[in-house]
Structure 1
Protein backbone atom coordinates (compact mmCIF):
# COMPACT_ATOMS: atom_id res chain seq x y z
CA UNK A 1 0.00 0.00 0.00
CA UNK A 2 2.89 2.39 0.73
CA UNK A 3 4.24 1.92 -2.79
CA UNK A 4 0.74 2.29 -4.23
CA UNK A 5 0.41 5.62 -2.42
CA UNK A 6 3.79 6.80 -3.63
CA UNK A 7 2.93 6.15 -7.28
CA UNK A 8 -0.72 7.22 -6.81
CA UNK A 9 -2.05 3.79 -7.82
CA UNK A 10 -4.32 2.88 -4.90
CA UNK A 11 -7.50 1.06 -6.01
CA UNK A 12 -9.81 4.05 -6.43
CA UNK A 13 -12.83 3.84 -8.71
CA UNK A 14 -10.77 5.29 -11.58
CA UNK A 15 -8.18 2.53 -11.08
CA UNK A 16 -10.88 -0.14 -10.83
CA UNK A 17 -12.27 1.04 -14.17
CA UNK A 18 -9.01 0.01 -15.80
CA UNK A 19 -9.63 -3.65 -15.02
CA UNK A 20 -13.44 -3.75 -14.70
CA UNK A 21 -14.80 -0.88 -16.77
CA UNK A 22 -18.18 -2.48 -17.38
CA UNK A 23 -18.77 -2.79 -13.64
CA UNK A 24 -17.55 0.62 -12.53
CA UNK A 25 -18.07 2.86 -15.59
CA UNK A 26 -20.89 4.88 -13.95
CA UNK A 27 -19.37 5.01 -10.48
CA UNK A 28 -18.17 8.29 -8.98
CA UNK A 29 -16.64 9.02 -5.57
CA UNK A 30 -18.17 6.61 -3.04
CA UNK A 31 -18.99 9.47 -0.67
CA UNK A 32 -19.90 12.62 -2.61
CA UNK A 33 -21.05 10.67 -5.69
CA UNK A 34 -20.30 13.72 -7.85
CA UNK A 35 -16.65 13.65 -8.88
CA UNK A 36 -14.28 11.10 -10.31
CA UNK A 37 -12.69 9.14 -7.51
CA UNK A 38 -9.00 9.42 -8.26
CA UNK A 39 -6.01 9.61 -5.94
CA UNK A 40 -6.31 13.30 -5.16
CA UNK A 41 -10.07 13.76 -5.13
CA UNK A 42 -11.66 11.16 -2.98
CA UNK A 43 -9.03 9.93 -0.77
CA UNK A 44 -7.63 13.24 0.33
CA UNK A 45 -9.75 16.15 -0.83
CA UNK A 46 -13.38 15.03 -1.16
CA UNK A 47 -15.62 17.36 0.81
CA UNK A 48 -16.67 14.33 2.86
CA UNK A 49 -13.09 13.90 4.09
CA UNK A 50 -12.11 17.55 4.65
CA UNK A 51 -12.90 17.52 8.36
CA UNK A 52 -11.13 14.18 8.80
CA UNK A 53 -8.06 15.45 6.95
CA UNK A 54 -8.01 18.59 9.08
CA UNK A 55 -8.08 16.40 12.21
CA UNK A 56 -5.34 14.12 10.84
CA UNK A 57 -3.16 17.13 10.02
CA UNK A 58 -3.70 18.52 13.52
CA UNK A 59 -2.81 15.18 15.13
CA UNK A 60 0.22 14.88 12.86
CA UNK A 61 1.52 18.25 14.03
CA UNK A 62 1.08 17.13 17.65
CA UNK A 63 2.86 13.86 16.83
CA UNK A 64 5.74 15.76 15.21
CA UNK A 65 6.14 17.91 18.34
CA UNK A 66 5.98 14.84 20.62
CA UNK A 67 8.60 13.05 18.49
CA UNK A 68 10.91 16.05 18.91
CA UNK A 69 10.23 16.15 22.66
CA UNK A 70 11.17 12.47 22.97
CA UNK A 71 14.79 13.60 22.50
CA UNK A 72 14.50 15.85 25.59
CA UNK A 73 14.18 18.95 23.47
CA UNK A 74 12.06 21.74 24.90
CA UNK A 75 9.97 23.06 22.03
CA UNK A 76 9.30 26.77 22.30
CA UNK A 77 5.98 28.37 21.43
CA UNK A 78 7.74 30.10 18.53
CA UNK A 79 8.91 26.73 17.16
CA UNK A 80 5.40 25.27 17.51
CA UNK A 81 4.05 28.28 15.59
CA UNK A 82 6.69 27.68 12.90
CA UNK A 83 5.66 24.02 12.66
CA UNK A 84 1.97 24.95 12.42
CA UNK A 85 2.72 27.40 9.62
CA UNK A 86 4.67 24.99 7.42
CA UNK A 87 3.13 24.73 3.93
CA UNK A 88 3.06 20.96 4.30
CA UNK A 89 0.41 21.27 7.04
CA UNK A 90 -1.93 23.56 5.15
CA UNK A 91 -5.10 21.91 3.92
CA UNK A 92 -4.95 23.54 0.49
CA UNK A 93 -3.63 20.94 -1.91
CA UNK A 94 -1.46 22.44 -4.60
CA UNK A 95 0.51 20.44 -7.14
CA UNK A 96 3.17 23.17 -7.39
CA UNK A 97 4.30 22.90 -3.76
CA UNK A 98 4.81 20.09 -1.32
CA UNK A 99 1.70 19.54 0.77
CA UNK A 100 0.18 16.99 3.11
CA UNK A 101 -0.57 14.62 0.23
CA UNK A 102 3.19 14.26 -0.21
CA UNK A 103 3.48 13.07 3.40
CA UNK A 104 0.67 10.60 2.68
CA UNK A 105 2.70 9.34 -0.30
CA UNK A 106 5.69 8.81 1.99
CA UNK A 107 7.78 11.85 1.07
CA UNK A 108 9.40 13.98 3.77
CA UNK A 109 9.81 17.52 2.41
CA UNK A 110 13.11 19.22 3.03
CA UNK A 111 11.35 21.95 5.07
CA UNK A 112 10.43 19.38 7.75
CA UNK A 113 13.88 17.78 7.67
CA UNK A 114 15.64 21.16 7.94
CA UNK A 115 13.37 22.35 10.75
CA UNK A 116 13.97 19.08 12.61
CA UNK A 117 17.75 19.56 12.29
CA UNK A 118 17.42 23.19 13.37
CA UNK A 119 15.54 22.17 16.52
CA UNK A 120 17.65 19.08 17.35
CA UNK A 121 21.00 20.46 16.22
CA UNK A 122 22.72 20.02 12.88
CA UNK A 123 24.81 17.10 14.17
CA UNK A 124 21.66 15.01 14.83
CA UNK A 125 21.10 13.70 11.31
CA UNK A 126 20.20 10.15 12.44
CA UNK A 127 17.68 11.44 14.97
CA UNK A 128 16.17 13.69 12.30
CA UNK A 129 15.82 10.71 9.96
CA UNK A 130 14.25 8.64 12.73
CA UNK A 131 11.71 11.37 13.42
CA UNK A 132 10.91 11.59 9.71
CA UNK A 133 10.37 7.84 9.44
CA UNK A 134 8.16 7.79 12.54
CA UNK A 135 6.15 10.74 11.24
CA UNK A 136 5.57 9.00 7.90
CA UNK A 137 4.48 5.80 9.64
CA UNK A 138 2.08 7.81 11.78
CA UNK A 139 0.55 9.54 8.74
CA UNK A 140 0.21 6.20 6.96
CA UNK A 141 -1.60 4.65 9.94
CA UNK A 142 -3.88 7.65 10.45
CA UNK A 143 -4.93 7.96 6.81
CA UNK A 144 -5.45 4.23 6.50
CA UNK A 145 -7.63 4.10 9.61
CA UNK A 146 -9.63 7.31 9.17
CA UNK A 147 -9.81 7.77 5.39
CA UNK A 148 -9.04 4.62 3.42
CA UNK A 149 -10.76 1.94 5.51
CA UNK A 150 -14.08 3.85 5.80
CA UNK A 151 -13.93 4.41 2.04
CA UNK A 152 -13.43 0.68 1.40
CA UNK A 153 -16.31 -0.20 3.72
CA UNK A 154 -18.57 2.22 1.83
CA UNK A 155 -17.54 0.72 -1.52
CA UNK A 156 -18.34 -2.78 -0.20
CA UNK A 157 -21.84 -1.58 0.74
CA UNK A 158 -22.36 -0.11 -2.74
CA UNK A 159 -21.09 -3.28 -4.42
CA UNK A 160 -23.47 -5.34 -2.28
CA UNK A 161 -26.41 -3.14 -3.31
CA UNK A 162 -25.51 -3.67 -6.98
CA UNK A 163 -24.87 -7.38 -6.49
CA UNK A 164 -21.21 -7.15 -7.52
CA UNK A 165 -19.22 -10.15 -6.33
CA UNK A 166 -15.50 -10.93 -6.23
CA UNK A 167 -16.08 -13.35 -9.10
CA UNK A 168 -17.65 -10.55 -11.18
CA UNK A 169 -14.55 -8.42 -10.69
CA UNK A 170 -12.30 -11.23 -11.94
CA UNK A 171 -14.22 -11.73 -15.19
CA UNK A 172 -13.23 -9.96 -18.40
CA UNK A 173 -15.60 -7.10 -19.23
CA UNK A 174 -17.22 -8.90 -22.19
CA UNK A 175 -18.13 -11.95 -20.06
CA UNK A 176 -19.56 -9.74 -17.34
CA UNK A 177 -21.74 -7.85 -19.83
CA UNK A 178 -23.21 -11.03 -21.34
CA UNK A 179 -24.19 -12.34 -17.90
CA UNK A 180 -25.76 -9.11 -16.73
Structure 2
Protein backbone atom coordinates (compact mmCIF):
# COMPACT_ATOMS: atom_id res chain seq x y z
CA UNK A 1 0.00 0.00 0.00
CA UNK A 2 2.79 2.44 0.93
CA UNK A 3 4.89 1.37 -2.07
CA UNK A 4 3.16 3.70 -4.56
CA UNK A 5 6.46 5.58 -4.99
CA UNK A 6 8.18 2.27 -5.80
CA UNK A 7 10.46 2.54 -2.76
CA UNK A 8 10.92 -1.24 -2.55
CA UNK A 9 12.49 -3.67 -4.97
CA UNK A 10 10.18 -6.57 -4.07
CA UNK A 11 12.01 -9.12 -6.23
CA UNK A 12 15.16 -8.79 -4.11
CA UNK A 13 13.15 -8.29 -0.91
CA UNK A 14 11.24 -11.57 -1.20
CA UNK A 15 14.51 -13.52 -1.02
CA UNK A 16 14.63 -12.93 2.73
CA UNK A 17 12.68 -14.56 5.59
CA UNK A 18 11.65 -13.23 9.01
CA UNK A 19 11.87 -15.11 12.31
CA UNK A 20 9.71 -15.12 15.43
CA UNK A 21 10.32 -12.94 18.47
CA UNK A 22 9.18 -13.61 22.02
CA UNK A 23 6.46 -11.00 21.51
CA UNK A 24 5.05 -13.07 18.64
CA UNK A 25 5.50 -16.40 20.44
CA UNK A 26 3.71 -15.04 23.51
CA UNK A 27 0.89 -13.66 21.35
CA UNK A 28 0.56 -17.09 19.72
CA UNK A 29 0.28 -18.56 23.21
CA UNK A 30 3.29 -20.85 22.69
CA UNK A 31 3.85 -23.37 25.46
CA UNK A 32 6.30 -22.30 28.19
CA UNK A 33 6.51 -18.72 26.88
CA UNK A 34 5.14 -17.01 29.95
CA UNK A 35 5.62 -13.43 28.78
CA UNK A 36 6.93 -11.36 25.89
CA UNK A 37 9.97 -9.93 27.71
CA UNK A 38 13.52 -10.18 26.38
CA UNK A 39 15.23 -13.05 28.18
CA UNK A 40 18.68 -11.88 27.10
CA UNK A 41 18.91 -8.46 28.75
CA UNK A 42 16.75 -9.25 31.76
CA UNK A 43 15.11 -5.84 31.50
CA UNK A 44 11.39 -5.41 31.47
CA UNK A 45 11.58 -4.80 27.71
CA UNK A 46 9.25 -6.51 25.25
CA UNK A 47 11.29 -8.54 22.78
CA UNK A 48 9.85 -7.03 19.62
CA UNK A 49 11.49 -6.99 16.19
CA UNK A 50 12.97 -3.58 17.05
CA UNK A 51 14.26 -4.59 20.49
CA UNK A 52 16.24 -7.48 18.99
CA UNK A 53 18.43 -4.99 17.13
CA UNK A 54 18.84 -2.38 19.88
CA UNK A 55 19.07 -4.69 22.90
CA UNK A 56 21.95 -3.62 25.14
CA UNK A 57 23.26 -7.21 25.19
CA UNK A 58 24.17 -6.99 21.49
CA UNK A 59 27.91 -6.90 21.01
CA UNK A 60 27.59 -4.47 18.09
CA UNK A 61 25.20 -1.64 17.25
CA UNK A 62 23.37 -1.44 13.94
CA UNK A 63 25.34 1.70 13.03
CA UNK A 64 28.68 -0.09 13.54
CA UNK A 65 27.58 -3.00 11.41
CA UNK A 66 26.13 -0.87 8.62
CA UNK A 67 29.25 1.29 8.21
CA UNK A 68 32.08 -1.23 8.71
CA UNK A 69 31.13 -3.76 5.99
CA UNK A 70 31.92 -1.37 3.16
CA UNK A 71 35.60 -1.55 4.13
CA UNK A 72 35.37 -5.34 4.52
CA UNK A 73 33.63 -5.68 1.18
CA UNK A 74 36.39 -3.61 -0.43
CA UNK A 75 38.99 -5.89 1.17
CA UNK A 76 37.18 -8.90 -0.24
CA UNK A 77 37.27 -7.32 -3.71
CA UNK A 78 40.95 -6.51 -3.25
CA UNK A 79 41.76 -10.11 -2.28
CA UNK A 80 40.08 -11.24 -5.50
CA UNK A 81 41.99 -8.64 -7.57
CA UNK A 82 38.76 -6.91 -8.63
CA UNK A 83 40.23 -3.44 -9.04
CA UNK A 84 37.47 -2.20 -11.36
CA UNK A 85 34.86 -3.15 -8.79
CA UNK A 86 36.84 -1.36 -6.08
CA UNK A 87 36.73 1.84 -8.14
CA UNK A 88 32.97 1.45 -8.66
CA UNK A 89 32.49 0.81 -4.94
CA UNK A 90 34.46 3.94 -4.04
CA UNK A 91 32.26 5.98 -6.37
CA UNK A 92 29.06 4.83 -4.64
CA UNK A 93 29.92 4.02 -1.02
CA UNK A 94 28.98 7.48 0.31
CA UNK A 95 25.67 7.48 -1.59
CA UNK A 96 25.04 3.93 -0.36
CA UNK A 97 25.41 5.02 3.29
CA UNK A 98 23.37 8.18 2.61
CA UNK A 99 20.48 6.07 1.35
CA UNK A 100 20.66 3.83 4.42
CA UNK A 101 20.69 6.85 6.75
CA UNK A 102 17.84 8.66 4.99
CA UNK A 103 14.29 8.43 6.41
CA UNK A 104 12.15 5.50 5.36
CA UNK A 105 8.83 6.41 3.78
CA UNK A 106 7.46 2.95 4.58
CA UNK A 107 8.73 2.41 8.14
CA UNK A 108 7.59 5.64 9.78
CA UNK A 109 10.15 7.20 12.13
CA UNK A 110 12.95 4.87 10.96
CA UNK A 111 15.79 5.17 8.50
CA UNK A 112 16.24 2.95 5.46
CA UNK A 113 18.77 0.84 7.38
CA UNK A 114 15.71 -0.58 9.18
CA UNK A 115 14.38 -1.60 5.77
CA UNK A 116 17.68 -3.41 5.14
CA UNK A 117 17.37 -5.20 8.51
CA UNK A 118 13.95 -6.45 7.40
CA UNK A 119 15.40 -7.62 4.08
CA UNK A 120 13.79 -4.84 2.05
CA UNK A 121 15.83 -3.75 -0.95
CA UNK A 122 14.97 -0.10 -1.54
CA UNK A 123 14.59 1.01 -5.16
CA UNK A 124 16.91 3.99 -4.50
CA UNK A 125 19.88 1.60 -4.69
CA UNK A 126 18.88 0.68 -8.24
CA UNK A 127 18.73 4.34 -9.22
CA UNK A 128 22.37 5.01 -8.22
CA UNK A 129 23.55 3.87 -11.64
CA UNK A 130 22.19 2.94 -15.05
CA UNK A 131 25.01 0.49 -15.73
CA UNK A 132 24.17 -3.16 -15.13
CA UNK A 133 27.56 -4.11 -13.66
CA UNK A 134 27.44 -1.17 -11.24
CA UNK A 135 23.90 -2.04 -10.15
CA UNK A 136 25.01 -5.62 -9.53
CA UNK A 137 27.95 -4.47 -7.41
CA UNK A 138 25.67 -2.21 -5.35
CA UNK A 139 23.30 -5.14 -4.86
CA UNK A 140 26.25 -7.34 -3.81
CA UNK A 141 27.29 -4.67 -1.30
CA UNK A 142 23.72 -4.52 0.06
CA UNK A 143 23.69 -8.32 0.47
CA UNK A 144 27.10 -8.20 2.12
CA UNK A 145 25.85 -5.63 4.66
CA UNK A 146 22.68 -7.69 5.20
CA UNK A 147 24.78 -10.80 5.85
CA UNK A 148 26.98 -8.87 8.27
CA UNK A 149 23.91 -7.83 10.26
CA UNK A 150 22.64 -11.41 10.23
CA UNK A 151 26.01 -12.87 11.24
CA UNK A 152 26.96 -10.29 13.86
CA UNK A 153 23.56 -9.62 15.47
CA UNK A 154 20.84 -12.07 14.44
CA UNK A 155 22.74 -15.38 14.67
CA UNK A 156 24.40 -14.55 18.03
CA UNK A 157 20.94 -13.52 19.31
CA UNK A 158 19.44 -16.83 18.17
CA UNK A 159 22.31 -18.82 19.70
CA UNK A 160 21.89 -16.98 23.01
CA UNK A 161 18.11 -17.51 22.98
CA UNK A 162 18.67 -21.21 22.29
CA UNK A 163 21.14 -21.44 25.18
CA UNK A 164 18.75 -19.64 27.55
CA UNK A 165 15.80 -21.78 26.45
CA UNK A 166 17.81 -24.97 26.99
CA UNK A 167 18.79 -23.69 30.43
CA UNK A 168 15.07 -23.13 31.17
CA UNK A 169 14.33 -26.59 29.69
CA UNK A 170 12.31 -25.16 26.78
CA UNK A 171 12.54 -27.12 23.54
CA UNK A 172 11.32 -26.25 20.05
CA UNK A 173 8.52 -28.77 20.45
CA UNK A 174 7.34 -26.84 23.53
CA UNK A 175 7.00 -23.71 21.42
CA UNK A 176 4.41 -25.50 19.26
CA UNK A 177 2.54 -27.76 21.71
CA UNK A 178 0.10 -25.27 23.19
CA UNK A 179 -0.89 -23.84 19.81
CA UNK A 180 -1.44 -27.32 18.32
CA UNK A 181 -3.44 -28.56 21.31
CA UNK A 182 -5.53 -25.38 21.26
CA UNK A 183 -6.24 -25.97 17.57
CA UNK A 184 -7.28 -29.60 18.20
CA UNK A 185 -9.39 -28.75 21.23
CA UNK A 186 -10.90 -25.73 19.51
CA UNK A 187 -11.83 -27.89 16.53
CA UNK A 188 -13.64 -30.47 18.69
CA UNK A 189 -15.28 -27.77 20.79
CA UNK A 190 -16.46 -26.03 17.65
CA UNK A 191 -18.13 -29.24 16.37
CA UNK A 192 -19.85 -29.81 19.73
CA UNK A 193 -21.27 -26.31 19.68
CA UNK A 194 -22.72 -26.86 16.20
CA UNK A 195 -24.64 -29.94 17.39
TM category (shorter chain) comes to: 0.5 to 0.7
> Higher relative contact order by CA 8 Å / sep ≥ 6: 1 or 2?
2
Which TM-score applies when normalising by structure 2? 0.62
- CA change 1:21–1:72 in 2 (3 A) is closer
Q: Identify the residue that residue 54 of structure 2 maps to in structure 1.
A: 45
Does residue 170 in structure 1 map to residue 176 in structure 2?
yes
1:65 shift after superposition = 6.2
Aligned residues: 160
Q: Identify the residue that residue 189 of structure 2 maps to in structure 1.
A: none
Task: Give structure 1 stretches of 5+ with no counterpart.
Answer: none
Residue from 82, 88, 91 that aligns with 2:100: 88
Cα offsets for 1:98-146 (capped at 9, x unmatched): 421212223333443333x1xxxx4x1x123312331232123212211
Where do residues 12-161 of structure 1 align in structure 2 (5 Å cutoff)? 12-33=21-42, 34-42=44-52, 44-49=53-58, 51-62=60-71, 70-71=84-85, 73=87, 75=90, 83-84=96-97, 86-89=98-101, 95-96=108-109, 98-115=111-128, 117=129, 122=130, 124=131, 126-161=132-167
- CA change 1:22–1:158 in 2 (3 A) is same
Greater fraction helix: 1
Which has more radius of gyration? 2
Task: Give structure 2 stretches of 5+ with no counterpart.
Answer: 1-13, 183-195
Alpha-carbon distance between aligned partners in 1 of 2:83 and 2:39, rounded to the nearest angstrom: 39
Alpha-carbon distance between aligned partners in 2 of 1:83 and 1:24, rounded to the nearest angstrom: 40
